[in-house]
């Protein structure tokens, strides 16, 4: 199952491949007695999502299980096939991120069915088709997740976390974008800095970026990061946000009239995100003479804060691991974990955890590897965790 799913190219924009991967997993959920639905993604320019439901007759807490079908490897990537590297290590596109996690989820559910414990659970599974490159608008792209979370008490994600089976995620930093635009007074370069000319748009953008980096409020916030990823400046500039490109025309002897910078902002809580945005706006507003600047923020993945409920769920999971002889499980440092779909669910449930998928390394590269020994280990831990959640 793992090899078969990895060998289907499901790069996010390969809509047919994502749907084909969804059909492969759909058949497995239906064989376990789940009712399934494919939610079409035309409204957000993606393939869509697989949703599977199982409401047992003696169901306990409502639990949401989260995975994704897509990978970062499109059909033009040279990385396309599953291959064994040795007895315990395999490679392939999306093996750890996160087709291995989807298989682990199925294995855990099959174990529960084998001991007639599935009927004690109320389960919703959402396997998204756009985790690696979210569709827009986000309120449509993530609606399946948010709707399922609103129905649930607990959310469990089967991403690969930081690649170490001894850890799990109880917090994830959100990821949002910002765009800075500056303007200056065009003039001959020999007059730059003159009282009635000023430094121009590029110097103003540089002032703001340097101030972001040097600001004690921003740099002093634990887990907060901000990064300018693209900058364009000159006499005239164009910005093609659709493909993250831009053009500039300018001469070395002309004071720049326009500049823009695109970047991202990552925070561990909504409160931290709002504080950072407010401070960035204050810095942007303190303009050099004869320049102006604006900054716009675009919401992306929300933060998943480390709540008491999440800590409680990690403690339960760690106890399961210890009882199985696999040792304790520690929380992943949020700096070592990117954004993930569980973040859209976390604010709607009492407890959330992520990182229960396949251990691996070098994700998002053509060297991606999966630790095959982690598949049965993680499946056992997930099965017993679900069993104990059904029987508190």
Residue 191's alpha-carbon distances to 185, 200, 257, in angstroms, are 11, 11, 14
- pLDDT (average), residues 363-375: 96
- Using the predicted structure, report yes or no on whether residue 374 has a pLDDT greater than 70: yes
**Fold category of 174-301 in CATH:** Alpha-Beta Plaits (3.30.70)
Listed by start position, the domains of the chain span: 2-172+304-390, 174-301
- 160-174, 194-208, 317-331, 371-385: least confidently modelled range: 160-174
- pLDDT (average), residues 133-146: 95
Predicted confidence (pLDDT) per residue in 206-222, tens digit: 999 999 999 999 999 99
CATH of 2-172+304-390, one of 3.40.630.10, 3.40.50.720, 3.50.4.10, 3.40.50.300: 3.40.630.10
Predicted confidence (pLDDT) per residue in 309-342, tens digit: 999 999 999 999 999 999 999 999 998 877 899 9
Measured between alpha carbons, how far is 49 from 18 in angstroms, rounded to an integer? 9
The pTM (predicted TM-score) of the whole model is 0.90
- Of 67, 158, 117, 154, residue with least CA distance to 381: 158
- At 6, the pLDDT band (50, 70, 90 cuts) reads very high
The reported pLDDT for the residue numbered 385 is 98
The pair phi, psi for residue 260, each rounded to 5°, is -145, 155
The reported pLDDT for the residue numbered 392 is 67
The reported pLDDT for the residue numbered 108 is 98
- Using the predicted structure, report yes or no on whether residue 151 has a pLDDT greater than 70: yes
Predicted confidence (pLDDT) per residue in 48-92, tens digit: 999 999 998 777 899 999 999 999 999 999 999 999 999 999 999
- Using the predicted structure, report yes or no on whether residue 354 has a pLDDT greater than 90: yes
């Amino acid at each position: 199952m793992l090899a078969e799913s990895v060998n289907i190219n499901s790069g996010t924009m390969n809509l047919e491949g994502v749907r084909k991967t969804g059909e492969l997993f759909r058949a497995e959920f239906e064989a376990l007695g789940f009712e399934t639905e494919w939610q079409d993604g035309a409204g957000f320019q993606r393939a869509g999502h697989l949703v599977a439901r199982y409401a047992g007759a003696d169901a306990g807490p409502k639990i949401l299980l989260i995975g994704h079908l897509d990978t970062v490897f499109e059909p033009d990537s040279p990385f396309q096939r599953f291959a064994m590297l040795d007895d315990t290590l395999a490679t392939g596109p999306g093996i750890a991120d996160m087709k291995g996690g989807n298989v682990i989820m199925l294995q855990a559910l099959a174990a529960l069915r084998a001991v007639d414990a599935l009927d004690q659970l109320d389960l919703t599974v959402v396997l998204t088709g756009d985790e690696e490159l979210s569709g827009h608008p986000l309120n449509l792209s993530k609606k399946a997740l948010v709707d399922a979370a609103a129905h649930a008490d607990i959310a469990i994600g089967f991403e690969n976390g930081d690649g170490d089976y001894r850890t799990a995620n109880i917090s994830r930093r959100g990821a949002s974008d910002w765009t800075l635009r500056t303007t200056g007074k065009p003039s001959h370069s020999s007059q730059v800095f003159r009282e009635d000319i000023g430094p121009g748009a590029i110097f103003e953008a540089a002032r703001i970026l340097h101030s972001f980096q040097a600001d004690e409020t921003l740099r002093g916030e634990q887990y907060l990061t901000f990064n300018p990823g693209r900058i364009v400046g000159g006499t005239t500039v164009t910005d093609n946000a659709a493909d993250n490109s831009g053009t500039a025309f300018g001469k070395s002897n002309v004071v720049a009239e326009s500049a823009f910078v695109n970047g991202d902002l990552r925070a561990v809580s909504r409160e931290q995100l709002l504080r950072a945005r407010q401070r960035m706006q204050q810095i942007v507003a303190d303009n050099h003479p004869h320049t102006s600047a604006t900054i716009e923020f675009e919401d992306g993945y929300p933060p998943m804060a480390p709540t008491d409920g999440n800590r409680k769920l990690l403690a339960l999971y760690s106890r399961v691991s210890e009882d199985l002889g696999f040792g304790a499980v520690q929380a992943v440092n949020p700096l070592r974990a990117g954004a993930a779909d569980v973040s859209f669910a976390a604010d709607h449930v009492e407890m959330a955890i992520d990182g229960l998928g396949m251990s691996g390394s070098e994700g998002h590269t053509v060297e991606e590897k999966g630790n095959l020994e982690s598949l049965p280990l993680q499946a056992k831990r997930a099965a017993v965790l679900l069993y104990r959640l059904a029987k508190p």
